[in-house]
């Protein structure tokens, strides 16, 4: 299996459509890239090695990168702050810092990242949670919850279940059963 995972804002650069069109939807690659996807798929099937497959995908994405537009710098800066776990700036403080209205930031974020700034921040927190649990030596999830600055264990459990549809303890079991999740903890297998 070959997986391409985009960082925040990365998908917009390649899709060149407002990402809220894609939020919570499964869309086939050929619906987006038409015959280019078919050609790349055929090349992938004919490839003799994994390196050759990577090269085909890399070339395909590079061609897209050269022809598509980039997000505005102000949005990139605000999203970098939102995703920086060391900064605890509120969305209102970020808006003041960049002289942008909350509504405008919300619209830009939905267009370029597919979700609101608040949701983006929550998803980033989830990613941090998954990585922390996957690499944690602690048997107690309470310690993880406090390390990640959750108010209490109940908030931690509810937040985790809201996004993953499983309990944190179930995720710990998944990590124990699938050692690769210690390396790539941000993929939760579907049952």
pLDDT of 1 reads: 67
- Is residue 189's pLDDT more than 60? no
pLDDT of 103 reads: 93
Q: Can you tell me the distance from the alpha carbon of 134 to that of 176, in angstroms, rounded to the nearest whole number?
A: 9
pLDDT in tens, 142-153: 888 888 888 888
Q: What percent of the chain has pLDDT over 90?
A: 6
* pTM: predicted TM-score of the whole model, two decimal places: 0.72
Of the candidates 138, 190, 137, 130, the one whose C-alpha atom is nearest the C-alpha of residue 159 is 130
- Is residue 191's pLDDT more than 50? no
Residues with Cβ within 8 Å of 155's Cβ and at least 6 positions away in sequence, in order, are 145
Angle, helix 91-98 to helix 102-113, in steps of 10 degrees: 100
- Is residue 164's pLDDT more than 80? yes
**Domains defined along the chain, listed by start:** 10-67 (no CATH), 73-115 (no CATH), 119-182 (1.10.10.60)
């Amino acid at each position: 299996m070959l997986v391409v995972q985009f960082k925040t804002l990365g998908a917009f650069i390649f899709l060149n459509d407002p990402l809220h069109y894609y939020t919570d939807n499964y869309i086939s690659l050929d619906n987006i890239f038409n015959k280019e996807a078919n050609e790349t798929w055929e090349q992938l099937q004919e490839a003799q090695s994994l390196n050759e497959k990577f090269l085909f995908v890399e070339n395909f994405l590079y061609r897209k990168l050269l022809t598509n537009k980039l997000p505005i710098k102000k949005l990139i800066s605000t999203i970098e702050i939102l995703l920086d776990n060391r900064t605890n700036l509120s969305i209102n403080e970020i808006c003041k810092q960049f002289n942008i209205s909350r509504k405008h930031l919300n619209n830009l974020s939905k267009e370029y990242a597919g979700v609101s700034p608040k949701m983006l921040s929550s998803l980033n927190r989830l990613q941090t949670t998954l990585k922390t649990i996957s690499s944690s030596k602690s048997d107690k999830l309470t310690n993880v919850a406090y390390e990640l600055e959750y108010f209490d264990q109940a908030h931690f459990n509810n937040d985790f279940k809201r996004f993953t549809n499983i309990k944190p303890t179930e995720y710990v079991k998944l990590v124990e059963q699938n050692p690769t999740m210690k390396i790539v903890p941000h993929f939760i297998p579907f049952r």
